[in-house]
Amino acid sequence: MWPKINLIGSTRHILTLFKKDLLLEIRQQYTFYGVLLYVASTIFVLYMSMGEPEGAVWKGLFWMMQLFICVNAVAKSFLQEGRGRLLYFYTIAGPRDFILSKLLFNALLMLLMSLVSMALFVLMLGNPMPNPLAFVMISCLGGISLSLVFTFLAAIAARAQQSAALMAILGFPLVIPQLLLLGKISTIAFETVLQGGLMEMNLLLGGLDVLIVALALILFPFLWKD
């Protein structure tokens, strides 16, 4: 049940799989630019309908945007792999290496997307924050947290041979606690006077991320086998 963990070997596997995803992305130039266009046009639509909203609305819109960006960016990661190719990966690398490489790649993708959408938000919807630098950090943390949950859900949806729609149904209730936490933590950037307990929430969010990675490592091998 528990295979002996070969640290060097699996690190190499993870890096190779990660590099393969990166290379595919650079060659095809589909996900990144596709999602980029999605981000830009959605923010433009928001700008057309909202103008420059005040802080609370800005924050709410930003996290809702992140949620939809995440679904779109991550959905492809498993759906693009055909049945035969998955079988091939299964023979050359373990399921744990595979899911870790996907988690890594999607976290990086969402990190980039968070930064881009943050920049576009400030450009178009204005900057209501007294402390924007803190919000850069928070949006990176948020992007990574969301990407972890949705990567695992994308794996489930792909195994069920379903579209991204199922992913959203499965994922939205699950990420509400994370979004609530992120909304609370965001006040660091929006207020000059802070209430207590925000550091604890940061830790809680980090703890949730660790929990998700651990669950993915334990559960993905069961998902994988046919």
Partner 1 sequence: MIRQSWWKILSVVMLVYTAIAGFLGEVPAKPILNETIRNLYFHVAMWFSMMVLFTVSVYYSIKYLRTNNHVYDIYALEYAKGGIAFGTLGFLTGMIWARWTWGAFWSSDPKQLGAAIALLIYFAYLVLRNSMTDMDKRARIGAVYNIFAFAMLMPTIWIIPRLVESLHPGGMGNPALDTHDIDSRMRLVFWPGAVPGWTLLGVWITTLRIRLQLLAEKRMAQ
Residues forming contacts to partner 1 in the complex (CB under 8 A) are: 149, 152, 156, 159-162, 166, 169-170, 172-174, 176-177, 180-181, 184, 197, 200-201, 204, 207-208, 211-212, 215, 219, 222-223
Q: Which is closer to partner 1, CB of 39 or CB of 154?
A: 154
Q: What is the 3-state secondary structure (H, E, C) of the chain?
A: CCCCCCHHHHHHHHHHHHHHHHHHHHHHCCHHHHHHHHHHHHHHHHHHHHCCCCHHHHHHHHHHHHHHHHHHHHHHHHHCCCHHHHHHHHHHCCHHHHHHHHHHHHHHHHHHHHHHHHHHHHHHHCCCCCCHHHHHHHHHHHHHHHHHHHHHHHHHHHHCCCCHHHHHHHHHHHHHHHHHHHHHHHHHHHCCCCCCCHHHHHHHHHHHHHHHHHHHHHHHHHHHCC
CB of 111 to partner 1, least distance (A): 22
Least separation, in Å, of the C-beta of 35 and partner 1? Answer: 24
Least CB distance to partner 1 at residue 142 (A): 16
Q: Which is nearer to partner 1, 116 or 217 (CB)?
A: 217
Q: For partner 1, give the closer residue by CB, 84 or 173.
A: 173
Closest approach, Cβ 104 to partner 1, in A, equals 19
Q: Which is nearer to partner 1, 23 or 174 (CB)?
A: 174
